[in-house]
Amino acid sequence: MNAISDMQPEQIADYLTRHPNFFNDFPTLLADIHIPHPHGTHAVSMSERQLIAMRDKVRMLENKLAELIQFGEENDGISEKLHALTLALLAARTPQEVVAALALHLREGFAVPHHALRVWNLEAEAPTLSEPVSPDLRDAVTTLAQPACGPLTIDEAGAWFGEIAPHLRTFAFIPLRPAATVAPIGLLVLASEEARRFYPGMGTLYLERLGQMLGAALVRMQD
């Protein structure tokens, strides 16, 4: 057996793990052994060190809880805004009213500075809504299983923003699917000058729901 002076820290840790009653047998050690303070230069007893560790853990959990509460409040806010947009789309009677309701809620509710919308196979007329798009763009939209965020990946859509296009840095490409299992009937593109507004890997659940609601509202106009 190795001498105590030759023992490795891992061996000591393993021994204490396998003998949980060690400090019950030698209770004074908790007060007699002093170790460096984790946040300073002075030494503290093992029992005080355990208390500090517990306080740090509680503080970490409190911060995590505050973060989760913040996320929950933000999601609640998004849900309320999406609900308001849904009601506005339900109240719309024409494609023009759908376009107007979308523009209003994106601008005032979601603070989205720029957006563009195109649909295909829509009989009713609306300004810019039914302007022709290329087969390549339709194919690209069909391949999107969910909204895609990040830099401009569909070049043709960049031209939809006119003079502001060169200043836009991030985009959200949202297929318009009236239902999850049907082919897209159009494309909604959100855009921003901010580099982190729409970024790869961001959550797209609400964007997907937006595409479904808008697609369903436009299909309703054809019935």
Predicted local distance difference test score (pLDDT) of residue 136: 94
Per-residue pLDDT at 112: 94
What residues of the chain score a pLDDT lower than 70?
A: 1-6, 27-49, 123-128, 223
| pLDDT score recorded for residue 32 | 64
CA-CA distances (angstroms) from residue 105 to 55, 115, 210?
A: 45, 11, 11
**Right CATH for 56-220 from 3.40.50.300, 3.30.450.40, 3.10.129.10, 1.10.274.50:** 3.30.450.40
What is the C-alpha to C-alpha distance for residues 1 and 33, in angstroms, rounded to an integer? 25
Q: What is the CA radius of gyration of the chain?
A: 29
Q: What is the distance, to the nearest Å, from the Cα of residue 39 to the centroid of all Cα atoms in its chain?
A: 34
Q: Which residues contact 123 (CB under 8 A, 6 or more apart)?
A: 222
* pTM for this model (two decimals): 0.71
The domain ranges of the chain are 56-220
**Per-residue pLDDT at 172:** 97
Question: Which pLDDT belongs to residue 1?
Answer: 46
